[in-house]
Amino acid sequence: MVVLRPQGLYCPPGDFYIDPWRPVDRAIITHAHGDHARTGHGHYLAAAPGEGVLRTRLGAIDLQTLAYGEAIDHHGVRVSLHPAGHVLGSAQIRLEHSGRVWVASGDYKFMEGPDVDPTCPPFEPVRCDVFITESTFGLPIYRWQPQREIFAGIDAWWRSNAEQGRTSVLFCYAFGKAQRILAGIDASIGPIFCHGAVEPLNRAYRKAGVALPATTPVSEVTDKTLFKPGLVLAPPSAAGSSWMKRFGEYSDGFASGWMLLRGARRRRGIDRGFVLSDHADWPGLQAAIRASGAERVIVTHGQVAVLVRSLCENGLDAEAFETEYGDEAEGGPTVTAEAA
């Protein structure tokens, strides 16, 4: 039901694409990160909660939205969108045709236990015959701590810096990660400031009904002493730029799943690394695939070969699709100024 074409993942019976990386007539978008949602398509279909962030990032587009769980029929293919737990508006795409069900997950975060992310609905397992999964962190070494522990670490770092009169600058991806952090930290520690790339996404989240603490754009601050007890959220591209000079003495940190690797922290030359991800870890990938009930699994971007091998060893029919999706949503090596 889904094949790989030069433009992206294509559904022949429905005559539409999923997260295409080249312009097409009809595109279903799993979420608004730049490697999945691109300009130039004739018509877009996406989950209703993500409308604001899609329009913020892509501008004036011909966009149709569906509520989670709502279904439409297109050329005999029944299409519905289901929560992926990745960022606001992220969705798994369920396709039903001729008695077969495929699910394209996009990027997702499968969490079990007490961890709850208030910025987007949790991942919803969808039963299917074929499951198309990401594998951004598809190695056994990737196992996330509970988010509450990561936020407690950020709070302790920020509080210590504030007591010493040193600004805390935390680099994170502007869409998704920044808002996840805002919703999880202790906002009573001090004022919170945001880079100009972050603030428009904050507004889109608030408009969608997501509760975030008050933030001030860095560009609106005239008294630089106000930064001293504060926390500043900025995209990775701001690191080492002249923009940083306004903070005087500061301590910098980076929030990303890649911070699990010591080499990643060392290469960025930052004071602190916080292992916080919007993607499923190794156990999460395995749990999501099991929950789908799929007998066939197609693995896309990330650590593809390792996950395919593991799934085959566990009796599943697994293969890979080579896509052009990157790791920009985690502040990985493909993050550039565009991601800011």
Q: How many CA atoms lie within 13 A of 183 on its CB side?
A: 20
pLDDT at 20 over 50: yes
331 vs 255 pLDDT, higher one: 255
pLDDT at 288 over 90: yes
pLDDT at 91 over 60: yes
Nearest to 69 by CA among 102, 37, 91, 96: 91
User: Is residue 335 very low, low, confident or very high in pLDDT (cuts 50, 70, 90)?
Assistant: very low
pLDDT at 315 over 90: yes
Judged on CB neighbours under 10 Å (0-12, 13-18, 19+), 20 is buried
Contacts of 193 (CB under 8 A, 6+ apart): 215, 216, 217, 218, 221, 227, 230, 231, 232, 233
| Mean pLDDT value across the chain | 93
Q: What is the pLDDT of residues 142-193, one digit of tens each?
A: 999 999 999 999 999 999 999 999 999 999 999 999 999 999 999 999 999 9
Domain boundaries along the sequence of the chain:
3-142+278-339, 147-274
pLDDT of the residue at 266: 73
Nearest to 81 by CA among 18, 26, 163, 9: 18
Which residue type is seen at 241? S
Say how far residue 272 (Cα) sits from the centre of its chain: 21
pLDDT of the residue at 262: 76
CATH topology of domain 3-142+278-339: Metallo-beta-lactamase; Chain A (3.60.15)
Say how far residue 323 (Cα) sits from the centre of its chain: 17
CATH of 147-274, one of 3.40.50.10710, 3.30.413.10, 1.10.20.10, 1.10.490.10: 3.40.50.10710
